[in-house]
Amino acid sequence: MRTLSDLGDLEGKRVLVRVDFNVPLEKSPDADGAVQVADDTRIRAALPTIAELRNRGAALVIVSHLDRPKDREPELSMRPVANRLAELTGADVTLAPAVVGEDVEAFASNLNPGHILVLENVRYEPGETRDDPELAAALARLADVYVNDAFGVAHRAHASTEGVARLIDERAAGLLLQQEVTTLSRLMEDPARPLVAVLGGAKVSDKIAVIESFQAVANTILIGGAMCFPFFAAQGHSVGASLCVAEDVELARRALTANDAARAAIELPVDLVVADRFAADARPQPLDGVDVPDGLMGLDIGPRTAEAYREAILGAGTVFWNGPMGAFELEPFAAGTRAVAEVVAEAAGITVVGGGDSIAALHRFGLADRVTHLSTGGGASLELLEGKRLPGVEALA
């Protein structure tokens, strides 16, 4: 994978930069009610790459998707993103009239060094998600250099992530994508030990490939969230009304069967917090054990589990956390996720956190700045950890 340091002189060149500016939007509280960016975290994450390229004398053509437009819905225009990017960079930022075409090529040709052209929502073009060669060629005509800084879509073989990269000889990973790939690859190939993986969330089927990858390389796997109930069912425990589907039980049984021969031991909760319904006003009931009575559902790990997980995390050389320990969005069932978030922030080892819910939990508890690396990748992070190829990364070779 080539990086920015591998690029030659950029003075006066146009650089097509694929970013992940798929940000939430909201209406302004002002009288005009204009649409604006509600959370600019993803824009800020790309600023170091944008700054380096501008400092090296390049003009930038920014390409990103925004949500999943079915046509060319004006409410999914990149205009609010372009406006916020101008505020954050102080640069001369122009919104292109379309994604590609003669008018867009004219705008790109007239860019001065340091100026930024933001293309319209690349998913306005149906060929984007099909990796359409004509769209890739049209994008390639806009620039002399290609940089991909959108790790969040690096697992997609799209026109703006793979197709165009193979058409521009001078190409490289941006700083954010480089950091993501380097950090996650080191996690699986040469971690500081012990390596402890903390995996939560709702469904085993979403995480089984990651569980199996960590069984081969980690020292301990701590399971939490609704994902623990298929494991309990596979062991013969009652799960009551907890989230648990047959497919996940079979997958959990497969992981448990491999446990004896695996490098990493799977550890499950030893106590729970249950309730009669999934609701903010439900009464939490501690359960000393893991057999959930009929009519009740498990919604959080219990205090003994939280303490056991705390000790494992504090003793780790590297921690990877993906997925909440319970229904943390409901305050009565947030204690387990809060406990894990706090100890991950406290841990002296390398701490890597991925997944929207885990990152949201860190932000909610004011701990996001106390971990080594927050992965922006989502599905791309999981696929890299699973050992799958990432087309957007391979195209940068």
- Is residue 323 among the annotated active site residues? no
- What's 129-159 look like in SS3? CCCCHHHHHHHHCCCCEEEECCHHHCCCCCH
Q: Choose, from 84, 171, 203, 207, the residue flagged as catalytic.
A: 203
Q: How far is residue 134's CA from residue 99's CA, in Å, rounded to a whole number?
A: 13
140/110 Cα distance (integer angstroms): 16
Q: Is 379 a catalytic residue?
A: yes
CA distance 362 to 50: 26
Strand order in the sheet with 220-223: 265-267, 220-223, 195-199, 318-322, 350-354, 373-374
Can you tell me which residue has the tokens 């009931």?
Answer: 285
Q: Work out whether strand 116-118 and strand 59-63 pair parallel, antiparallel, or are unpaired.
A: parallel
Which position among 57, 101, 289, 356 bears the catalytic label? 356
| Ordered strands of the 171-173 beta sheet | 93-95, 116-118, 59-63, 14-18, 145-148, 171-173
Q: Are strands 195-199 and 318-322 parallel, antiparallel or unpaired?
A: parallel
Q: Which residues pair with 301 in a beta bridge?
A: 272
Active-site residue, selected from the candidate residues 114, 315, 317, 379: 379
Nearby residues of 126 by Cβ (< 8 Å), 6 or more positions away: 132
Tell me which residue of 395, 393, 352, 349 sits closest to 376, measured CA to CA: 352
Count helices and strands (H / E) in the chain. 13, 17
Q: Is 27 helix (H, G, I), strand (E, B) or coil?
A: strand
The stretches of the chain forming alpha helices (DSSP H) are: 41-55, 79-89, 102-109, 133-140, 175-189, 204-217, 228-234, 246-257, 303-314, 335-346, 356-364, 379-385, 391-394
List 322's β-bridge partners, or say none: 199, 354
Residue type, 164: V
- Is 317 a residue of the active site? no
CB 211 within 8 A of CB 385: no
Residue 70 bears catalytic tag = no
Catalytic hit among 14, 18, 42, 123: 42
Could you list the active site residues?
Answer: 42, 203, 356, 379
